[in-house]
């Protein structure tokens, strides 16, 4: 079968910056799988038609990034549990009969990066999650599943944080605070799932919220992680981790779903780490 027959893509807007084509090509090369994986720029008004055309023309799987994750959830004919929990998806898979399945690998990719690459056992942690967008939703559920002791969610728009906590429905473990209501609280894991590093803004959080051995994790990487890293360093976090590993792990989860084989993510991580 020709490489064209195994067609995959990532949809976003913009998309030129996406590392997904390079990551999937590296995974495929490792495992001797022939595929084509292209980056498709689709403006929001064109997204649904572009995705439907891609699958109608034989596309087998698509990743989806900003700003289309919720639209991708909406257009799917089937949704996995991870997709339904997040209400936003990054992985679409062609099923027989023209159906499209939606899945979210952000949460699993985050946990795999934290626990396997960075050897942090999440069980028993008191975690603070900043943000309540699509990625935060997936990460909130993943943190709960991974066994954090408590999860506190804060967001600029507090209603969106409340909606995640309500959906999780374990008020003794998962609750919200106002962004400026964290005085007196203390955490050993702070996860930034806002897009402040991209859109601009500051992490005006009390210095006292970190315990001595705390880890700060930013879903962003590269230049977009600079502002949160600056805050984490200033308040004395012991460890700072960025989202490059999560990016590669969530890609590996999608790859495994499509191809039935799990790639070795470490060589790809080492390669991209030289650039970010
Ligand atoms: P999203 O749905 O657009 O959510 C953005 C979040 O950031 C919302 O909670 C928003 O608050 C908050 N925010 C934006 N600007 C802010 C500001 N100036 N001050 C305070 N809060 C602000 O985006 P997403 O898909 O969840 O992605 C969030 C970030 O994670 C992005 O930077 C993305 O690149 C990154 N990400 C990384 C990976 C990875 O694999 N490493 C995967 C997914 C996402 P409001 O609700 O108030 O608007």
Query: Considering the domain boundaries, does residue 27 fall inside one?
Result: yes
Distance, CA of 270 to chain centre: 19
Compute the distance from residue 66 Cα to the ligand 1 centre, in Å: 10
Residue 196 · residue 228 · CB < 8 Å: yes
**Do 113 and 238 share a structural domain?**
yes
Question: Would the CB of 34 count as within 6 Å of ligand 1?
Answer: no
**Do 165 and 98 share a structural domain?**
no
Question: Would the CB of 194 count as within 6 Å of ligand 1?
Answer: yes
**Which pLDDT score is estimated for 211?**
87
Read off the pLDDT band of 134 (50, 70, 90).
very high
**Do 42 and 115 share a structural domain?**
no
Active site residues: 69
Compute the distance from residue 159 Cα to the ligand 1 centre, in Å: 15
| pLDDT tens for each residue of 237-274 | 999 999 999 999 999 999 999 999 999 999 999 999 99
Query: What is the extent of the structural domain holding 11?
Result: 6-104+246-273
**Do 238 and 113 share a structural domain?**
yes
**Do 263 and 161 share a structural domain?**
no
**Do 235 and 146 share a structural domain?**
yes
**Do 217 and 160 share a structural domain?**
yes
CB-side neighbour CA atoms (13 Å) of 58: 10
Number of domains observed in the structure of the chain: 2
| pLDDT tens for each residue of 168-191 | 999 999 999 999 999 999 999 999
Question: Would the CB of 245 count as within 6 Å of ligand 1?
Answer: no
Bridge partner residues of 103 (DSSP): 91
Give every CB contact of residue 259 below 8 A, 6+ residues apart in sequence: 28, 31, 33
User: How far is residue 24's CA from residue 6's CA, in Å, rounded to a whole number?
Assistant: 12
Query: Considering the domain boundaries, does residue 170 fall inside one?
Result: yes
User: How far is residue 140's CA from residue 174's CA, in Å, rounded to a whole number?
Assistant: 9
CATH code (residue 164):
3.40.50.720
Question: Would the CB of 135 count as within 6 Å of ligand 1?
Answer: yes
Query: Considering the domain boundaries, does residue 1 fall inside one?
Result: no
Pocket test of ligand 1: the residue of 141, 156, 180, 251 to mutate, having most ligand atoms within 8 Å of its CB, is 156
Give every CB contact of residue 77 below 8 A, 6+ residues apart in sequence: 95, 99, 100, 101
**Closest atom of ligand 1 relative to the 109 alpha carbon:** 40
Compute the distance from residue 260 Cα to the ligand 1 centre, in Å: 30
Put simply, whether the predicted model's pTM sits higher than 0.95 gets the answer yes
Compute the distance from residue 220 Cα to the ligand 1 centre, in Å: 9
* Residue 194 tokens, joined: 């806002």
**Which pLDDT score is estimated for 5?**
62
**Closest atom of ligand 1 relative to the 201 alpha carbon:** 18
CATH code (residue 253):
3.40.50.10860
CB atoms within 10 A of CB 24: 27
């Amino acid at each position: 079968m020709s490489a064209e027959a195994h067609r995959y893509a990532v949809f976003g807007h913009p998309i030129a910056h996406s590392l997904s084509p390079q990551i999937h090509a590296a995974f495929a090369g490792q495992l001797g799988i022939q595929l084509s994986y292209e980056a498709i720029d689709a403006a929001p008004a064109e997204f649904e038609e572009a995705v439907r055309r891609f699958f109608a023309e034989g596309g087998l799987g698509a990743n989806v990034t900003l700003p289309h994750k919720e639209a991708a959830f909406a257009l799917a004919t089937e949704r996995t549990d991870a997709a339904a929990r997040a209400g936003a998806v990054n992985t679409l898979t062609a099923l027989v009969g023209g159906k499209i399945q939606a899945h979210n690998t952000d949460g699993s990719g985050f946990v795999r990066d934290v626990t396997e690459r960075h050897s942090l056992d999440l069980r028993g942690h008191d975690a603070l999650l900043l943000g309540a967008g699509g990625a935060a939703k997936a990460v909130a559920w993943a943190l709960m599943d991974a066994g954090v002791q408590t999860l506190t969610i804060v967001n600029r728009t507090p209603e969106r944080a409340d909606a995640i906590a309500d959906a999780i429905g374990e008020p003794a473990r998962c609750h919200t605070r106002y962004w400026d209501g964290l005085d007196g609280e203390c955490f050993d894991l702070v996860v930034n799932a806002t897009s402040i590093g991209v859109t601009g803004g500051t992490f005006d959080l009390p210095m006292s919220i970190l315990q001595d051995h705390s880890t700060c994790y930013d879903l962003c990487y590269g230049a977009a992680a600079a502002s949160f890293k600056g805050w984490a360093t200033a308040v004395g976090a012991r460890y700072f981790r960025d989202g490059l590993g999560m990016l590669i792990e969530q890609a590996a989860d999608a790859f495994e779903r499509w191809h039935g084989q799990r790639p070795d993510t470490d060589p790809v991580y080492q390669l991209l780490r030289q650039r970010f």
